Amino acid sequence: MEQGEDMQDHTGIDWDDAFANRPYIDQAGSFTDAWATCARSFRETAQDARLDLRYGTPPREAFDLFLPADTPPKGAVVFVHGGYWMAFDKSSWSHLAQGALARGWAVALPQYTLAPNARIDQMTGQIGRAITEIARHVVGPIMLSGHSAGGHLVTRMVCDDTPLPPDVRARMRHVLSISGLHDLRPLQMTAMNTTLGLTDQTAQSESPALLRPLGGVAVTVWVGGHERPEFLRQSALLREAWSRCGTPVRLVVDEGLHHFNVIDGLEHADSMLTRALLQLPEG
């Protein structure tokens, strides 16, 4: 990684450490186990769960859809998982549908092909196709949310080069990026880039903070107050860059929370996070 080593000499930043969450979170490994357990339990009890719906032919081009019981949905919420574009699938996050579902919204959780089997620009295209297919299943407005790498992918949907077709674009109301990554250039200087394969060109073209927003869609950037400084920087960077373009962007620093528990509010209908996602007044 000659390029990364050269840049690190100039900045004094250890970029691998800057993006490392686990060493700074107590009992970090317990969170992944808990996510999988809670997600499985929710799927087993959900009243209207439609699993493994397809949006393409490759194995990972699938999504789960949860519908409110006995009432037409108010619209569609889409949650895109994180994992540095290299880990996880839709099965670990089903429980995060509960908050919006209780509010009468359909909730879809797509997955995408992971690196190194896909480049990040290809994942952007996959999520665009997934949302387009989800829009065929559910009428009404569309709200997007994503965590970490998923936060990147949902903000890419409202850049001016969005892969979404015009009819789906017109239904977009809000994007909630939770602990999202919006400037991919520093990732070129990490060991992860051996797997991600970011080039100067793709790091530029896939960084929402370096692109113009689509306009007409509200954006909320949400980050835990106890997250690594780089995640706080990336959140503030998107708010500043897109606000200058005239897009209404709200930055929320959720004090006391870290990268692994900042998403927990999506489980609860009355949490600040669910209310923000659905653009409801704060309770």
Q: Please state at what angle helix 149-156 crosses helix 120-137, rounded to 10 degrees.
A: 70
Which residues partner with 223 through β-bridges? Answer: 253
pLDDT tens-digit map of 166-193: 999 999 999 999 999 999 999 999 999 9
Q: Which of 227, 246, 267, 264 is nearest to 25 (CA)?
A: 227
Residue 257's SS3 state is coil
pLDDT tens digits in sequence order for the chain, 283 residues long = 334 444 444 678 999 999 999 999 999 889 999 999 999 999 999 999 999 999 999 999 999 999 998 899 999 999 999 999 999 999 999 999 999 999 999 999 999 999 999 999 999 999 999 999 999 999 999 999 999 999 999 999 999 999 999 999 999 999 999 999 999 999 999 999 999 999 999 999 999 999 999 989 999 999 999 999 999 999 999 999 999 999 989 999 999 999 999 999 999 999 999 999 999 988 6
**Whole-angstrom distance, CA of residue 32 vs CA of residue 56:** 27
- In the DSSP assignment, the letter for residue 213 is B
Q: Indicate the length of the chain as a whole number.
A: 283
Position 181: which residue type? L
Structure-token pair, residue 254: 């959720």
90 vs 43, 55, 219, CA distance in Å?
11, 14, 23
| Bridge pairing between strands 62-66 and 106-110 | antiparallel
Q: Could you tell me the residue ranges of all domains in the chain?
A: 2-277
Does this model's pTM top 0.85? My answer is yes
Residues 6+ apart with CB under 8 A from 37: none
- Work out the angle at residue 135's Cα, subtended by the Cα atoms of residues 92 and 118, and round it to the nearest 5 degrees: 50
Q: At 114, which amino acid appears?
A: L
Taking alpha carbons only, the member of 67, 83, 248 closest to residue 179 is 83
CATH code for the part of the protein at 2-277: 3.40.50.1820
DSSP E strand stretches across the chain: 49-54, 62-66, 76-80, 106-110, 142-147, 172-178, 218-224, 249-254
pLDDT tens per residue, range 228-282: 999 999 999 999 999 999 998 999 999 999 999 999 999 999 999 999 999 998 8
The DSSP result for 52-78, as a single string, is EEESSSSTT-EEEEE--TTS--S-EEE
